[in-house]
Every structure is written in structure tokens, then in C-alpha cells.
């Protein structure tokens, strides 16, 4: 593992926003890793190579502290970074570490943990996968049952996690485990980082409805985890699980908006090539998507403007994900509908349209409103935390 890298780019304090943008654009263009490989294994290597390129040249982790390899950019620059990243069409992160585990480590990890984990995560040398959900603990995550029993300087972990994306590539799992009583719910949960290669860890790929193997079940059988790999206090893991780093996500929403802008333009092109733009029904559906994709961008821009003006993300931050997930489902389904029988053809059929990207998207995006909190739970969250509607008295306290 190489850890040498250039000085952080943020050091150039006199640089203007325009010059910063130009420099990013030039770097992303010059070092672009080329087209996404078809084989999932090649894809992981392709992504890792790109993450290493970013890290080694000081272009990784826009919001991260410089000490651990990040750029430590002010928020306005993070926005520029995300805009350029979206424009460059480079690989996204690998695993759930960068977006989900890293903010927790940065905020709550010890100095030793940060040093051990953050730079290799950022460089793509260490792939992180999430171990939250269990067969009996999905939306009701506080009911999770995987146990960790203290044994000297170690925990003995037993149980099962499920829906773990990139489990096959993972080097570590960041997991929520029960250290309290069975009934302790949120008060008895601890945040552990578990070596994926440790004895007693077994990964069993799950075939998803697309036919792929993006996620897996992970079994822990007397897995020994050093206490030094616990983040936060014992039984204090729950509040750490949903940490976000500054307003990184708001900047990320702009990236997604830009990506779907491009996808919709590609669909409009496809409709034009196929002579379907003359059909008023097709046009009307495209107008609907056009309105929505623009509103997603307006919302992202408004969130960012709020953050820049007041330091707070404001009301739009909670709506972005709900809008994007519905949009990505609808655009793919409409594309398949528009193609008619040709929309049914899968990748290897010679007549498949655009290597069946729309059909695959139609299937893949079923997960959009399930993973990382179902749509139903997210709507509850908006209703309760933003609108102040009362919690369901029949459910355990939040």
C-alpha cells in the first residue's frame, strides 16, 4: 500500500474559484480511467485505480481533513468539486465507507483509528461495507440481534447481517452490534469495525432480482474484534450510525442531479433517434421527467445556497433523496415502456437497445426506495421531524 501523496491542493489559497475549477477539470480529463468495464470484478479494479489516482495527487476527499488525505475544502469549493466530478463521468466510490463510515470515524474515532482507517479507505486500498440490516431488523433497525460479548481486550461477535453491498470486495465491515440486553434497543448498540478476513466471518453472496450479486449475507461465528476497533462507547453506537460530515451530502445531491440531467438528455436523444418525439404521449412523459430533473437541481442549488448563507441546510435537504429515488425509478420504467417489446431485451440479445441499460435500470432501481431507509420510513421521518406530526404511539420510541 503506497501512502505517499502530493500536498493537499487546498494549500493554493490564492487560487480563484475559476482557476480551481479549471485545474480540477484538467486533472479529471487528463487522468480519466476510461470506460466502465463490463465485468464486475474488473469494475472494482477500475474504481480502485481511479481512487488511488485521486488520492496520490491530492484530489480525494473534498470535505475531509487534510491530515488524513482529504482536501479540506470550504463548502463552496466542495460544490465546485462535485460539479466537476459529475461532469467528468469518473467512477464513484467503492463500498459504503466514504459516504457512511468516514463521517462517523472523522467525528468520533480516536486519533489512532483515524490514522489506521481513513487514508486507506480514501485511497481505495481498504474497501468498507456496511453491516447494519439483519433478517429480522430492517426498517426496525434498533431491534438488531447480532451480539458482541466482551472477552478481555476483544469482543466475540455472533450473528448475521444481510443486504450488505460490496461484501465480496470488503476488507472491513462497519457494523452495529448488540452489547446490551435483547430489549435494550437503541441503548444497547455498539459500533464495531470488523476485519472481513478474520476467522469466523463468512460471506454468502445473495442473488438480487437483477440476477447480479451486488449484495451478500454476512455471518459472524465467534469472530474476535479488538476493543480498539470499537468507535465510541460501548452501548453508545446508535447515535453515531447516521453521522454526516458537514454538508457533504448536499454537495453530493448536486452531483446526482447533474448525472440524471445527463441520463434524461440521453433518453430524449434515444426518443428522437427512434422517431418517437412526435408522439404526444411520449412528449408529455418526457416533459414530466424534464420538470422533475430540473426541480431536483433547483432543490440542490437551494440547499447549497441556504448552507452558504446561513450555515444550515434548510427544508430542501430532506426532500432530495425522496425525489431522486422516485425519479430514477420512473425514468427507467418510462424508457422501457417507450421502447415497447424492444425494451424487454436483455444485454446479450443482438437487438437489445443500448445494451439494455434501461431494462437493467428498471430492475436495479427497485432497490432505490428500499435501501438506506425505505421510502415509507423516510416519509415518516419528514412528517415527524420536519412537519412535527406525532410519533405512532403503537411503536417503540425513536
Partner 1 sequence: MSVGDGQEHDELRQVVREFLRQRSPSREVRRLMEAGEGRDAEVWAMLTGQLGLSGIAVPVRYGGAGYGPVELGIVVEEMGRALLVAPYFSTVVLAGQALAASGDEDAMARWLPGIADGSLTAALAVAEEAGSWDLADLTTAAEPAGGGWTVSGSKLYVVDGHTADLLLVVARTPDGHGVFAVEGDAAGVERARLDALDLTRPLASVTLREVRAVPLTIGGGTAAWLAEVTDLVLAALAAEQLGGAARCLELSVEYAKVREQFGRPIGSFQAVKHKCATLFLEVESGRSAVSQATEAVAGRAPDASLTAALAYIHCSAAFTHAAKECIQIHGGIGYTWEHDAHLYLRRAKTSELFLGPPGRHRARLAALAGI
**Which chain residues interact with partner 1 by CB under 8 A?**
268, 277, 280, 283-284, 286-288, 290-291, 294-295, 298-299, 301-302, 309, 315-316, 319, 322-323, 376, 379-380, 382-384, 386-393
Contacts of 124 (CB under 8 A, 6+ apart): 47, 48, 49, 50, 51, 52, 55, 94
Stretch (H or E) spanning 287? helix 280-310
Q: Reply yes or no on whether 248 is catalytic.
A: yes
CB of 330 to partner 1, least distance (A): 14
Per-position b or e across 1-35, b if 16+ CB within 10 A of its CB? eeeebeebbbeeeeeeeeebbeebeebbeeeebee
State the minimum distance, in angstroms, from the CB of residue 340 to partner 1.
19
**Smallest gap from residue 268 Cβ to partner 1 (A):** 6
Is the Cβ of residue 57 or residue 265 nearer to partner 1 in the bound state? 265
Contact indicator for 68, 119 with CB cutoff of 8 Å: yes
- The smaller minimum CB distance to partner 1, of residues 217 and 279, is found at 279
In the complex with partner 1, the residue whose CB is nearer, 152 or 280, is 280
The helix or strand, by DSSP H or E, that contains position 172, with its residue range, turns out to be: strand 172-178
| Catalytic residue of the set 72, 83, 248, 328 | 248
Dihedral, 24, 29, 30, 34 alpha carbons, nearest 10: 140
Question: Shortest approach of partner 1 to residue 278 CB, angstroms?
Answer: 11
- Distance, in Å, from the CA atom of 256 to the CA atom of 258, rounded to the nearest integer, reads 5
Q: Which is nearer to partner 1, 206 or 277 (CB)?
A: 277
Q: Which three three-digit cell numbers place residue 44?
A: 472494482
CB closer to partner 1, 198 vs 326? 326
- DSSP code of 159? E
Within its chain, how far is the Cα of 356 from the centroid?
Answer: 24
- Residue 319, CA distances (Å) to 184, 243, 379, 386 in order: 32, 18, 9, 10
What minimum distance in Å lies between the beta carbon of 283 and partner 1? 5
Per DSSP, the three-state class of 32 is coil
Smaller CB separation from partner 1, 346 or 379: 379
What whole-number distance in Å separates Cα of residue 54 and Cα of residue 72? 14
Pull the grid cell for residue 125. Answer: 486500498
Contact between 166 and 95 (Cβ < 8 Å): yes
Which grid coordinates are listed for 392? 405512532
For 169, residues 6+ apart whose C-beta sits below 8 A from its C-beta are: 44, 94, 95, 127, 129
Three-class DSSP category at 220: strand
Please state the closest distance from residue 171 (CB atom) to partner 1, in A. 38
Q: In the bound complex, what is the minimum distance in angstroms from residue 302's beta carbon to partner 1?
A: 5
Which residue's CB is nearer to partner 1, number 52 or number 257? 257
Q: Which residues are catalytic?
A: 248
Amino acid at each position: 500500500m503506497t501512502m505517499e501523496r502530493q500536498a493537499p491542493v487546498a494549500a493554493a489559497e490564492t487560487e480563484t474559484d475559476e482557476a480551481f475549477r479549471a485545474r480540477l477539470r484538467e486533472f479529471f480529463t487528463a487522468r480519466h480511467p476510461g470506460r466502465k468495464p463490463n465485468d464486475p470484478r474488473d469494475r472494482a479494479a477500475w474504481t480502485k485505480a481511479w481512487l488511488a489516482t485521486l488520492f496520490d495527487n491530492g484530489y480525494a476527499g473534498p470535505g475531509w481533513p487534510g491530515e488524513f488525505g482529504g482536501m479540506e475544502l470550504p463548502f463552496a469549493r466542495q460544490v465546485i468539486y462535485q460539479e466537476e466530478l459529475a461532469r467528468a463521468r469518473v467512477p464513484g466510490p467503492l463500498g459504503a465507507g466514504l459516504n457512511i463510515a468516514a463521517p462517523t470515524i472523522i467525528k468520533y474515532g480516536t486519533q489512532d483509528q483515524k490514522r489506521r482507517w481513513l487514508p486507506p479507505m480514501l485511497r481505495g486500498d481498504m474497501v468498507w461495507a456496511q453491516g447494519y440490516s439483519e433478517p429480522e431488523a430492517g426498517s426496525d433497525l434498533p431491534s438488531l440481534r447480532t451480539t458482541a460479548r466482551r472477552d478481555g481486550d476483544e469482543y466475540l461477535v455472533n450473528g448475521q447481517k444481510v443486504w450488505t453491498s460490496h461484501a465480496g470486495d470488503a476488507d472491513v465491515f462497519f457494523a452495529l452490534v448488540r452489547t446490551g440486553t435483547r430489549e435494550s434497543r437503541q441503548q444497547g448498540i455498539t459500533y464495531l469495525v470488523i476485519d472481513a478476513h478474520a476467522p469466523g466471518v463468512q460471506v454468502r453472496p445473495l442473488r438480487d432480482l437483477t440476477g447480479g450479486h451486488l449484495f451478500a449475507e454476512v455471518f459472524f461465528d465467534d469472530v474476535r474484534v479488538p476493543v480498539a476497533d470499537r468507535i465510541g462507547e460501548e452501548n453508545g453506537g446508535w447515535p453515531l450510525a447516521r453521522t454526516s460530515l458537514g454538508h457533504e451530502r448536499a454537495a453530493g445531491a448536486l452531483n446526482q442531479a447533474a448525472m440524471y440531467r445527463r441520463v434524461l438528455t440521453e433518453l430524449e436523444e434515444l426518443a428522437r433517434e427512434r422517431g418517437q418525439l412526435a408522439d404526444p404521449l411520449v412528449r408529455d412523459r418526457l416533459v414530466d421527467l424534464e420538470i422533475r430533473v430540473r426541480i431536483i437541481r433547483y432543490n440542490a442549488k437551494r440547499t447549497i445556497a441556504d448552507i452558504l448563507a446561513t450555515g444550515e441546510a434548510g427544508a430542501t435537504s430532506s426532500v432530495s433523496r425522496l425525489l431522486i429515488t422516485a425519479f430514477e425509478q420512473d425514468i427507467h420504467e418510462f424508457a422501457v415502456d417507450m421502447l415497447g417489446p424492444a425494451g424487454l431485451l436483455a444485454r446479450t440479445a443482438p437487438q437489445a437497445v443500448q445494451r439494455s441499460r434501461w431494462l437493467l435500470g428498471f430492475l436495479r432501481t427497485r432497490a432505490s426506495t428500499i435501501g438506506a431507509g425505505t421510502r415509507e420510513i423516510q416519509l415518516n421521518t419528514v412528517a415527524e421531524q420536519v412537519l412535527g406530526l406525532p410519533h405512532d404511539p403503537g411503536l417503540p420510541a425513536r
